[in-house]
Amino acid sequence: MPADLEALRTNLRGLQRVLVAFSGGADSAFLAWVANDTLGSDVVQCFTAVSPSLAQSELDDCASLAAEWGLNWSPVETAEMDNAAYRVNDADRCFHCKSALMDVVEPIACEHELIVVLGVNTDDLGDHRPGQSAAQERLARFPLVEAGFSKKDVREHSKKLGLRTWDKPAAACLASRIPYGTQVSVSLLRRLDRAESALKNLGFNQLRVRDYGEIARLEIDLEELSRAVDLRAEIVEAVQSVGYQYVTLDLEGFRSGNLNHSIQ
């Protein structure tokens, strides 16, 4: 049985005033739209955390969506890269990232008497997501979880509401492409951003470029693997142009959170 949209609206009315973490993905976009539609822009503010781990295309889309939907939106810069515990890239990287985000938005929430809300859905609860713990420790709320929304529910309701984000591919932060134990650097994040942008320009939407030094391991939807082989020369040229020497294609295809398997 699909989750009830009215239950989500009731939850948001109970919160009264919210500050929405808006990454532009299907979940946070749906939450931002429903919050804005339910409570109004006077008591709903949306923000996008800007750092080297955010793809430029995602930031651009956040700005476009905010304008389309009339959101009270602003980008805010976060400083997780200043934290050595984040850069070392162990299994708690996401904890440090979310802590850096909360460091920035808590004063905003306090000043305007807002409750920070994140677009976490029920499917997210089963994966390794230390960032969720960091947010909850700082009293952030997960309205989608509280209303029982899964990823499927989010997409179905988004489609019914006519939101163009209903089928937007999942887009985790760029640092998630780097295997645990490999140092995170601005140059590496930018290389990953350029590589994925180049592949998107070739028409691949659901993808990840995983970084292994000189080697780029490409995860693409299984349905598009045959096309990837057909475009082998173009793909190799595109990925090598940003600094990789070798380009490999993962025959298992795209798997969200794939690198978490190494710590489970």
Three-state DSSP string of 153-187: HHHHHHHHHCCHHHHCCCCCCHHHHCCCCCCCCHH
pLDDT tens for the 264 residues of the chain, in order: 678 999 999 999 999 999 999 999 999 999 999 999 999 999 999 999 999 999 999 999 999 999 999 999 999 999 999 999 999 999 999 999 999 999 999 999 999 999 999 999 999 887 678 888 889 998 999 999 999 999 999 999 999 999 999 999 988 899 999 999 999 999 999 999 999 999 999 999 899 999 999 999 999 999 999 999 999 999 999 999 999 999 999 999 998 766 655 545
Could you tell me if 134 and 120 are in contact, meaning their C-beta atoms sit under 8 angstroms apart? no
Could you tell me if 172 and 24 are in contact, meaning their C-beta atoms sit under 8 angstroms apart? no
Of 209, 214, 216, 220, which is closest to residue 254 (Cα–Cα)?
220
Per-residue pLDDT reduced to its tens digit, 30-81: 999 999 999 999 999 999 999 999 999 999 999 999 999 999 999 999 999 9
**What is the pLDDT, as a whole number, of residue 203?**
95
Q: What is the rounded CA–CA span in Å between residue 16 and residue 106? A: 17
**What is the pLDDT, as a whole number, of residue 264?**
53
Q: Where are the domains of the chain?
A: 5-167, 174-263
Q: What is the rounded CA–CA span in Å between residue 53 and residue 223? A: 28
The secondary structure of residue 141, as a DSSP letter, is B
Q: Facing residues of 220 across strands?
A: 207
Q: What is the rounded CA–CA span in Å between residue 116 and residue 104? A: 11
What topology is assigned to 5-167 in CATH? Rossmann fold (3.40.50)
Q: Which two tokens stand for residue 199?
A: 């592949």
Q: What is the rounded CA–CA span in Å between residue 110 and residue 103? A: 12
Evaluate if pTM is beyond 0.85: yes
The answer for residues whose C-beta is within 8 angstroms of residue 13's C-beta and 6 or more apart is 38, 39
Pick the CATH number of 174-263 from 3.40.1620, 3.40.50, 3.10.20, 3.30.70: 3.30.70
The answer for residues whose C-beta is within 8 angstroms of residue 178's C-beta and 6 or more apart is 89, 184, 188, 192, 210, 211, 259
The dihedral through the CA atoms of 244, 248, 254, 258 has a sign that is negative
**What is the pLDDT, as a whole number, of residue 257?**
63
Domains 5-167 and 174-263 share a fold: no
